[in-house]
Homo-oligomer: A and B are copies of this chain.
Amino acid sequence: MNARLDSESRIQEDDHLALKLWLRLLTCTNMVEAVLRQRLRDTFQSTLPRFDLLAQLERHPHKLTMGELSSLMMVSGGNVTGLVTQLEKEGLVSRTALETDRRTYQVGLTPRGQKYFQRIAEQHEQWVVELFAEMGHQQQEQLMDDLLALKQSVQQATATL
């Protein structure tokens, strides 16, 4: 009887654990985001979504379509349209047509966009390193692994149910 109660309360505890875990994850992300957003604004008069879009283009040297950008950035297509239009107006990214498919095109960094991004990215990385610095290398590795497990857990749980 005690055993039964124990296994039940274990389940309860696990439930709360997952919820607490989720709330802590959210808190951590929000804290880091807030710092980066503030510093991007103060130092470069720029914003996270702009930086994120440029970073995706840098990370994928073959250029990206709007749809690819949308799914990489995990935001809606309409959102990407707005950002690209803005950045194109500033000469930081370019749209280049494809012969094979006239519905789509590729977005890429212009030379000016590359320089612009590099300048910000260097500082941005320093900020991130700084924010994570109190964690040891090994703990960072462990966190990497555990987050990978979480990512896979979420994918598992949402796979075509």
Contacts and interface: CB of A to CB of B under 8 A. Distances in A.
A144 B21 contact: yes
Contacts of A135: 146, 149-150, 153
Binding site secondary structure of chain A: helix
- What size tier do the contact residues of chain A reach? 35 or more
Nearest to A153: B134
Contacts of A142: 142, 146
Interface in A53-111: 74
Contacts of A17: 137, 140-141, 144
Contact of A134 (B35, B133, B152): B152
A6 interface: no
Interface in A95-138: 125, 128-135, 137
| Across the A-B interface, the 5 shortest Cβ-Cβ residue pairs | A134-B153, A18-B132, A29-B29, A143-B146, A30-B74
